[in-house]
Amino acid sequence: MRGVSQSVLFLAATIATIITTASASSYLSFSYFSSSTLQKNPFCNMTTTTSGNCLRPAIPQLCGLLLLACLPSECFAFTSGASSIAPTAVAQTNTDVTKIGSLTVPYVGVGTIAWSSDSLTELESPELQNLVTAATNQNCGFFDTGERYGSHLKTAVGMGWGETERLLTKLIREANDDSATVKPVVATKFTPSPWRTSVESVVKACDESRKRLGVDAIDLYQIHMPDIVKPLRFMGLDDSYDEIYWDGIAECYHKGLVKNVGVSNYGPTLVSKCHAALAKRGVPLASNQIAYSLIGRHNGAQQTVDKCNELGVKVMAYYPFAMGLLTGKYTSSMPEIIAEDAVTTSLSTSRRSKLEMKDLTRYANGDGKLIPAGGVSPLLKVMEAIAEHRGKTVAQIALNYVICKGAVPIPGARTAAQVSDNLGALNWRLSQDEITLLEYEADNLGFGFDGAGLKKTSEKFVGYGMEKWSLS
């Protein structure tokens, strides 16, 4: 180890000396960056040629990356925002937890929006049972659901309310792992609807969810979205009931029906108003769930994360993989670091709808119009390089990035293998240099992720059409 370190230090020092004494006509290319983007390289002193190449990279950062690239991976023990050189052991079960209100939860949750029973008449799914058992066994039993969740057609047409809540309750009960140090936590959601216009309607919906979940008090009860479902808006009937819903969840809290309350899809302005309104009633706002990922920080998403961090409201991030784009499963040339169980899925074999696949194909490969040619590939190359160096998958890099920004990612999962792969995003952190590098490449893609098909990050299909909201 001493010989390796001394050799690397000598190499870094030698290269640094060569660079500082090089003539102005000598250029350095960095494998992380294309020559067309180097002039905005955060590791460059911004002295560039007309073609965009850096004349003199910043020496400390370059030497740091040389050290990172040359030292064997077993020499590193990573902590939040920094890296240090020391032996470390790989954790076998999750101990990486955080607080959402009064709850202690793992730093990665499990989204259940696509869960449904394998049977139309019975609540059963061996695949999902294996998932829930694996999650609870590994201290990752934090499940996010909703009264309107489900993947059957009957859910899409307005039937099957509460089915996923009932299914999840059954799966958790049958998993029944008493050895887990972090007990399963379930978050569910109230859906704003035109017929729900009173405090009592919120309390009633909450109590129905509580009964379906089989608990005395729901761990975390969230308002699913702003009050945007207005089928009679064209007639001028579009009064907002947001404040009534806030009074409703406050009443649920005071009645002991819920342990914590949260919201979803609220931007900085609305989350601030809700936080203040609940505080007047003595109710803390615990969480705000939004679409957020490395390529989903635009349209007010990053500002929302910043505001929530300021208010002490925990952000829960759905679409942390940008519907699979950031797992590498659609475009990666390095299958050995693609997320477990994702390598067998491609754009041609995915379960997703044709509308979703059309949009995801544009994001993955580009269309030369709204999405530049190459799509998300330039970012994936950087993610793959970091993943390969760290011995992680691309998906784990995507999740860890969200964690480093102070949010709890809630990736959707349908198999135990996916949950186990998500576990690999825990108990370590990307360095600040890696975060800067990832954000630089993401920002230079020229587009952000806005969802696919009818599953948009700021729109919702509500039967009569699409209703939109804006975080910003």
Residue 276 neighbours by CB under 8 Å, 6+ apart:
none
CA distance readout (Å), 154 to 145, 150, 191, 233, 350: 17, 9, 17, 26, 22
Query: What's the token pair of residue 247?
Result: 């009074």
Active-site pick, 32, 107, 149, 318: 149
* Calpha distance 238→45 (Å, rounded): 53
* Calpha distance 258→453 (Å, rounded): 34
Phi, psi for residue 81 in degrees, rounded to 5: 80, 0
| Residue 253 is among the residues annotated as catalytic for this protein | no
Residue 126 burial by Cβ neighbours in a 10 Å radius (0-12, 13-18, 19+): exposed
Q: Are 27 and 49 a contacting pair, CB within 8 Å?
A: yes
Query: What's the token pair of residue 30?
Result: 């960095």
* Calpha distance 386→76 (Å, rounded): 13
Beta-bridge mates of residue 194? none
Place of tokens 């994702």: 342
Q: Are 257 and 207 a contacting pair, CB within 8 Å?
A: yes
* Calpha distance 383→321 (Å, rounded): 12
Place of tokens 């993401």: 442
* Calpha distance 241→233 (Å, rounded): 14
Q: Are 151 and 114 a contacting pair, CB within 8 Å?
A: yes
Rounded to 5, what percent of the chain is helix, strand, coil? Answer: 40, 15, 45
Phi, psi for residue 398 in degrees, rounded to 5: -60, -45
Phi, psi for residue 377 in degrees, rounded to 5: -55, -40
Beta-bridge mates of residue 57? 44
* Calpha distance 1→89 (Å, rounded): 17
Query: What's the token pair of residue 453?
Result: 């098909």
Phi, psi for residue 83 in degrees, rounded to 5: -130, 150
* Calpha distance 395→380 (Å, rounded): 10
Buried-state track 54-84, b at ≥16 Cβ within 10 A, e below 16: bbbbebebbbbbbbbeebeeebbebeeeebe
Pairing mode of beta strands 451-452, 407-409: unpaired
Residue 257 neighbours by CB under 8 Å, 6+ apart:
203, 206, 207, 210, 217, 218, 221
- Where in the sequence numbering do the catalytic residues fall? 149
